Structure 1
Amino acid sequence: MDTTAWIVIGAVFVLLTVGVAGVLLVRVLRARKLLADAGIPLRDKALLWAAVIYTVSPVDLLPDPVYLDDIGFLLLALRSLHGAARAAGVGRHGERQVEARNLVP
């Protein structure tokens, strides 16, 4: 392969990772509705905002053209937040879930 092909492959890889990081960042910001619920522990809220700050920060574990560390941190924050929301009984869109056993008199 010549140099041009390697440059194209590298550019495609960078664009894909930037795209994935961007999508995850948008999902994290949309999940902020869950932060308003008092049943979500402060640890999970702090992890979410730490992931956002880390993603936009110029200081990274890996150089900025490689967004794999940012993607991993965003995925960890989303997983943690959604797990805490499920444990608190909050649905995907911020509404409280009513348990079936509470409906029976």
Structure 2
Amino acid sequence: MPDAGWDVLSALGVVALVVVIVSALVVLGLAIAMIRRHRKVHQPDVPVSAKISYYGSIIYALSPIDALPDPVLIDDIGVLAAAVLYVGRVLKKVTRKRDQISR
């Protein structure tokens, strides 16, 4: 009869692996969302703060230096999610201004 401790340890290992895979997929999805904004971010009327947020979030996600160890991607998810929200909001404002000017 196998030891119950090994069963618990195996289950925790599987849960940890699933958490790492899911968080990696979330980071990948957020990184793709940021990269899709590349052309829009490089427009001349986009503020520098949005450009810094764009590049900073991508560099942080790719950087080996993190606030938390790499298997735990919570910090990368937070940085990328905040950047996606901020850059998206800035780009909407810039688009509205362009539309008002062109009318």
The TM-score normalised by the length of structure 2 is 0.84
Structure 2 match to 1:67:
73
Structure 2 stretches lacking a partner, 5+ long: 1-6
Q: 1:23-76, CA deviations, whole angstroms, 9 ceiling, x for partnerless residues?
A: 111111111111122221001101110000000101000100011100110011
| Count of aligned pairs between the two proteins | 95
Structure 1 match to 2:61:
55
Corresponding letter in the other structure for 1:55:
A
Identity of counterpart residues, as a percentage? Answer: 26
Query: Is the helix fraction higher in 1 or 2?
Result: 2
Q: How does 1:23-42 map to 2 (within 5 A)?
A: 23-42=29-48
Structure 1: 4+ residue segments shifted above 2 A: 96-99
**CA distance in structure 1 between the aligned counterparts of 2:71 and 2:35, rounded to whole angstroms:** 22
Q: Which has the larger radius of gyration?
A: 2
Secondary structure at 1:61 match in 2: coil
Check if 1:43 corresponds to 2:44: no
**CA distance in structure 1 between the aligned counterparts of 2:62 and 2:38, rounded to whole angstroms:** 17
Q: Please report the RMSD computed on the Cα atoms of aligned residues, expressed in angstroms.
A: 1.7
Cα offset for 1:98?
A: 3.2
